[in-house]
Amino acid sequence: AERTQAEELPILPPEITRERFNEAVAELRKDIGEKNVELNDKPLIDGWYMEHPNTHDAFHIMEQDDTVSSATVYPGSTEEVQTVVRWANKYLIPIYPISMGRNLGYGGAAPRIRGAVVLDLGRRMDKVLKIDPDNCSCLVEPGVSYFALYEAVQATGYPLWIDTPDLGGGSVLGNAVDRGVGYTPYGDHFGCHCGMEVVLPTGEVVRTGMGALPGKNGEDNPCWQSFQYGYGPYSDGIFTQSNFGIVTKMGFWLMPATDHTSYMITFRDEDQYPEIMSTIRPLAINKVLGNVPQLRHVIQELAVTGKPKSYFYDGPGQIPREVIRKWAKEMPCGDCSWVFYGTVYGPDEFRRGQLEIIRREFGKIDGSRLMLPEELPEDHYLHSRVAVCSGVPVLRELDWLQWLPNGAHLFFAPIAPTSGEDVKRLFELCRKRHEEYGIDLFPTLCVASRESHVIVNLVYDRSSKESKAKAYNCLRAMIADAAAEGYGEYRTHILFSDQVAGTYNWNNNALMRMNEALKDALDPNGILAPGKNGIWPKRFRGKGWEI
């Protein structure tokens, strides 16, 4: 909505007077230090990826200040996190924990509730606490980015890899609790974690897995980063994509370094992907494909050059297929429709064998062509895949944002069985909605053997209300269309979480009712990240917050 009147800053949390809020802030400043509590009362700056704001969503999809915080707090230890949590309970102020807040496309650092206090854990809690080169594991705090962990691992001199997502600036811990993925064989970040320390919404601290059993002489348990399950119910999962706790430490497994070869295969025809998918599935399940390979539409070969759309096409609406073809013809990928990026791992003879099978199987698809890095120019995207697929963090994927002026993006990320028919159904509904809203369709499939993360990147112009509204409405429509066909998202932007959570409604919303029971038991005052992942505490439930 248009704002006619300037609001007084900072925007307050719900149901609290300015006087009471000021009193609360003064108390918190006394408890954890004046400089560790910042009011959000200055103009909002979107910045850019490496200088991202922790005051709002840098990739705002509604008004810039629709998801703003009232203040940001920087705890320096688990004890200080407990202090802030107890403070939030006393004043009934919602707090929203972030590790680094580079969760762009999913809400960034923004709280779901306007005026909540953002708990920026990463600023001061940024230590790699331990690297165990023999156990091939590490223990990190929320502020450790992929770049930082990479450097710390390199500095040990041991041949170990980390696993990084497409962009290396995010938090290792934050990404894993949001169940993000990367591209080495350790690409399932939650699956490769081992042990957590969590501050519960009441202020209590727990350690999960073997961490619950104290080590000798007060040390950490020696198996905390070795055995994931410990004893009793496996609770780690409930602290991911939820609002049940604040993760202050997390263990991860590191992969022993190995030789690797990345390759790219191009496919000629747009409608060949069902055939491509049925070739991929057995190879993926049999682990001939060594990692999470990506299948991308050829339009992305244009976008990853970092040149704006206007360089390729300056007409209105979607860039026509013929124009994409014209440009692709002049690029290393040539006149193709799909590009597959994969990597094989292990000693020479392993990789040679795997590549032989890959060549043979994909070779059965008419017009396909396999290329190795040495056959491609130095600035080709495949070289960036070589880095990412061997755990070297990069920023190349940011080039995408140049597609439109003031570029921002939003993800549609449904899960599909790794089958041609299913992927076809999803692509068709995406195509229809993208045409309807005049948005360029950028589909990528991240294939994890039995399922594929279908990632559709909606790029929009942040300075244009119209561009934002189109992206917003297109995403809403696709979520509904997909659910009607039985497909659901693995992750979504904070403003779409009610809708997505609402699609996981089997047996009269039994899962959400269980989540609400857990929420009310663990967070009786409803202070921790209300509304995150569609989970609302009793205090907010059914009072008009859901969108």
Nearer to ligand ADP, 69 or 272 (CB): 69
Query: What are the beta bridge partners of residue 528?
Result: 95
**Site pattern 408..447 for ligand ADP (x: CB under 6 A):** ----------------------------------------
> Which DSSP helix (H) or strand (E) runs through 407?
strand 407-412
Q: What is the CA radius of gyration of the chain?
A: 23
Nearer to ligand ADP, 115 or 142 (CB): 142
Does residue 174 interact with ligand ADP by CB under 6 A? yes
| CA–CA separation, 262 and 515 (whole Å) | 41
Query: What are the beta bridge partners of residue 38?
Result: 72
Could you tell me the two tokens for 205? 């601290």
Of residues 352 through 411, those in contact with ligand ADP by CB under 6 A are none
What b/e string do you get for 497-529 counting C-beta neighbours within 10 Å, with b at 16 or more?
A: bbbbbebeeeeeeeebeebbeebeebbebbbbb
**Site pattern 306..345 for ligand ADP (x: CB under 6 A):** ----------------------------------------
Q: Which of 12, 93, 95, 100 binds ligand ADP (CB under 6 A)?
A: 100
Q: Which of 69, 175, 272, 499 binds ligand ADP (CB under 6 A)?
A: 175
| CA–CA separation, 200 and 205 (whole Å) | 6
**Site pattern 12..31 for ligand ADP (x: CB under 6 A):** --------------------
Shortest distance (Å) from residue 103 CB to ligand ADP:
3
Of residues 101 through 120, those in contact with ligand ADP by CB under 6 A are 101-103
| CA–CA separation, 536 and 135 (whole Å) | 40
Nearer to ligand ADP, 174 or 182 (CB): 174
Of residues 461 through 480, those in contact with ligand ADP by CB under 6 A are none
| CA–CA separation, 89 and 527 (whole Å) | 6
Of residues 121 through 140, those in contact with ligand ADP by CB under 6 A are 121
| CA–CA separation, 210 and 128 (whole Å) | 20
**Site pattern 70..99 for ligand ADP (x: CB under 6 A):** ---------------------------xxx
Shortest distance (Å) from residue 322 CB to ligand ADP:
37
Q: Which of 115, 168, 170, 526 binds ligand ADP (CB under 6 A)?
A: 170
Q: Which of 55, 67, 171, 402 binds ligand ADP (CB under 6 A)?
A: 171
In contact, 297 and 258? CB cutoff 8 Å: no
Q: Please tell me the count of residues contacting ligand ADP according to CB under 6 A.
A: 19
Q: Which of 38, 163, 178, 220 binds ligand ADP (CB under 6 A)?
A: 178
Shortest distance (Å) from residue 52 CB to ligand ADP:
8
Let me know the angle formed at the C-alpha of 469 by 466 and 471, rounded to the nearest 5 degrees. Answer: 110
Residue closest to 142 by CA, chosen among 158, 120, 162, 163: 120
Nearest to ligand ADP by Cβ — which residue?
Answer: 174
What b/e string do you get for 422-435 counting C-beta neighbours within 10 Å, with b at 16 or more?
A: bbebbbebbeebbe
Nearer to ligand ADP, 107 or 407 (CB): 107
> Could you give phi then psi for residue 194, rounded to 5 degrees?
-150, 100
Which range in 175-183, 278-286, 355-363, 465-473 contacts ligand ADP by CB under 6 A?
175-183
Let me know the angle formed at the C-alpha of 32 by 31 and 36, rounded to the nearest 5 degrees. Answer: 140
Per-residue HEC secondary structure of 226-266 comes to CCCCCCCCCCHHHHCCCCCCEEEEEEEECEECCCEEEEEEE
Query: What are the beta bridge partners of residue 407?
Result: 461
Shortest distance (Å) from residue 518 CB to ligand ADP:
15
> Could you give phi then psi for residue 312, rounded to 5 degrees?
-90, -30
Q: Is 194 helix (H, G, I), strand (E, B) or coil?
A: strand
Of residues 138 through 167, those in contact with ligand ADP by CB under 6 A are 142
Residues 6+ apart with CB under 8 A from 92: 15, 16, 525, 527, 539
Does residue 46 interact with ligand ADP by CB under 6 A? no
**Residue written as tokens 């156990």?**
135
Of residues 190 through 249, those in contact with ligand ADP by CB under 6 A are 246-247
Of residues 501 through 540, those in contact with ligand ADP by CB under 6 A are 529
Catalytic residues: 106, 490-491
Contact residues: ligand ADP, CB under 6 A: 97-103, 121, 142, 170-171, 173-175, 177-178, 246-247, 529
